[in-house]
């Protein structure tokens, strides 16, 4: 059996989609559905059961689940704007540590969702070499909570036997429940559909023009394929970036959205909220050589091809879900 925490969430449900494509459906979904429409991410999926995240650890530790092949831990609060530090400590760090300890002590494959937010302002680069972990300074509590897990895994030797994935700017189907944390691709699609325009933040650094801030945008399908490859290769462990290895501008992303929708480009630049200016990342780019050196053969989808697939085959369809 495969356990996917956050299995009804954005990346988690994409992992379940990828497993289903491989003919795997002996999957336990762990999540908290609440009153959101996250449940819709599960409608097209095949799985054994769903269990709430609050009762899952106790049942796991009691041995209620037989023959667990792997725990894919995608469950976390992913809001970079979350300010409740105690909640993030418990939900993103302590909960993750508990599950990792159990998996490691029972020889169960463990794959964890870390984040590019751990890199902070990027002044120390974006290398997933674990020797530089202690130098990183995340800009928000979300990034810090993810960083704490990686530090713990390194300190205890857990990184030798688990994989922790630093996801960069992920976009794609099944993100619709995330509200303000949805990708700019999805938000831009909605803006163009409603107004014909896309709004982007102005720049507050001289070296970047408006909309020229850069991100490593990675398609959620590629993220799911990498997780699946790691499940097939349990000897590949450690910290790994998950991005394309190529930073692109918001302007280029917007151009891809307009092209996929067959609409003329029309961008307006707006003021960035004060609360974001001090913690805003102007550049992210995943160093991907480590994953390739580990033998991963997967080629990442280009921004233009991914945006077109997302918009044409999902957002413009009656059923936009994986």
Q: Has 178 been annotated as catalytic?
A: yes
Bridge partners (DSSP) listed for residue 215: 248
**Whether the Cβ atoms of residue 136 and residue 118 lie closer than 8 Å to each other:** yes
DSSP category for residue 283: B
Check if the beta carbon of residue 136 is closer than 8 Å to that of residue 119.
yes
Judge contact between 110 and 73, C-beta under 8 A: yes
Residue 319 Ramachandran class (φ > 0 left, ψ -120 to 50 alpha, else beta)? beta
Instruction: Given the residues 40, 53, 178, 290, select the one marked as catalytic.
Output: 178
CB atoms within 10 A of CB 42: 19
* Distance between CA atoms of residues 182 and 127, nearest Å: 26
Q: Quickly count: other Cβ atoms within 10 Å of residue 215's Cβ.
A: 24
Name the catalytic one among 2, 119, 142, 144. 142
Q: Could you give the residue numbers annotated as active site? A: 142, 178
């Amino acid at each position: 059996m495969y356990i996917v925490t956050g299995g009804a969430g954005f990346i988690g449900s994409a992992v379940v989609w990828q497993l289903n494509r491989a003919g795997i459906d002996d999957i336990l979904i762990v999540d908290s559905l609440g009153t959101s429409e996250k449940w819709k991410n599960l409608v097209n999926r095949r799985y054994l059961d769903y269990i709430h995240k609050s009762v899952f650890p106790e049942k796991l530790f009691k041995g209620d689940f037989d023959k667990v092949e792997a725990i894919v831990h995608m469950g976390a609060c992913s809001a970079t704007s979350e300010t409740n530090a105690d909640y993030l400590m418990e939900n993103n760090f302590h909960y993750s540590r508990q599950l990792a300890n159990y998996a490691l002590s029972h020889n169960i494959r463990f794959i964890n969702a870390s984040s590019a937010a751990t890199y902070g302002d990027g002044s120390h680069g974006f290398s997933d070499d674990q020797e530089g972990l202690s130098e990183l300074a995340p800009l928000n509590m979300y990034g810090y909570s993810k960083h704490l897990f990686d530090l713990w895994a390194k300190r205890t030797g857990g990184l030798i036997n688990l994989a922790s994935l630093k996801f960069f700017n992920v976009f794609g189907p099944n993100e619709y429940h995330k509200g303000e944390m949805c990708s700019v691709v999805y938000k831009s699609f909605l803006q163009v559909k409603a107004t014909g325009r896309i709004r982007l933040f102005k720049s507050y650094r001289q070296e970047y023009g408006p909309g020229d801030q850069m991100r490593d945008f990675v398609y959620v399908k590629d993220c799911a394929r990498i997780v699946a490859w790691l499940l097939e290769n349990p000897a590949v462990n450690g910290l790994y970036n998950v991005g394309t290895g190529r930073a692109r501008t918001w302007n280029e992303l917007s151009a891809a959205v307009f092209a996929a929708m067959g609409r003329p480009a029309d961008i307006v630049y707006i003021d960035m909220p004060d609360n974001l200016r001090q913690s805003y990342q102007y550049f992210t780019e995943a160093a991907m050589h480590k994953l390739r050196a580990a033998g991963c053969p997967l080629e990442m989808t280009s921004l233009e091809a991914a945006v077109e697939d997302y918009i044409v085959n999902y957002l413009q369809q009656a059923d936009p879900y994986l």
